[in-house]
Amino acid sequence: MRKFYLCKKCGNVVSLLVDGGGSLLCCSEPMEELTVNTVDAALEKHIPHCDVRDGKIVVRVGEVMHPMDNDHYINFLALEHDDTIEIHNFKPNEEPIWTFNYIENSTVYAYCNKHGLWKIEIN
């Protein structure tokens, strides 16, 4: 499973392309590894809702559409399969919907800048 890290000071979120084993610092402090689905927030607004059709996965966040305000929005969706990851970034006021090519046994992540990282497994 891919790891994502957050700087609690500036809000930077990173994931490693190569894990060299060192520790990550941002704003002079250690970055925090994000754990999925752990923030106390509405599941129906954060768990990615996936619809597989015609070789594609249409992902929206979530079952009830997540807000896309300037200070609270879905920053990115990511689809991970084995050692491959595809990421789409959103801006405020865009709809948190993106279409990926369907890949069996993949994981879809959604990141909310207020409520952290969420994921769902796709079979």
Separation of alpha carbons 109 and 76, rounded Å: 8
> 45 or 100, CB closer to Fe ion?
45
Minimum distance of Fe ion from residue 51's CB (angstroms): 21
Binding to Fe ion (CB under 5 A): which residues in 94-123?
112, 114-115
Which ranges in 8-98 belong to alpha helices (H)?
A: 43-46
Closest separation in Å from C-beta 50 to Fe ion:
18
Name which of 56 and 114 has its Cβ closer to Fe ion: 114
| Pick 37 or 101: Cβ nearer Fe ion | 37
- Measured on CA atoms in the order 56, 68, 40, 17, is the torsion positive or negative? positive
- Sheet containing 4-6: give its strands across: 13-15, 4-6, 32-33
Site for Fe ion, rule CB under 5 A: 112, 114-115
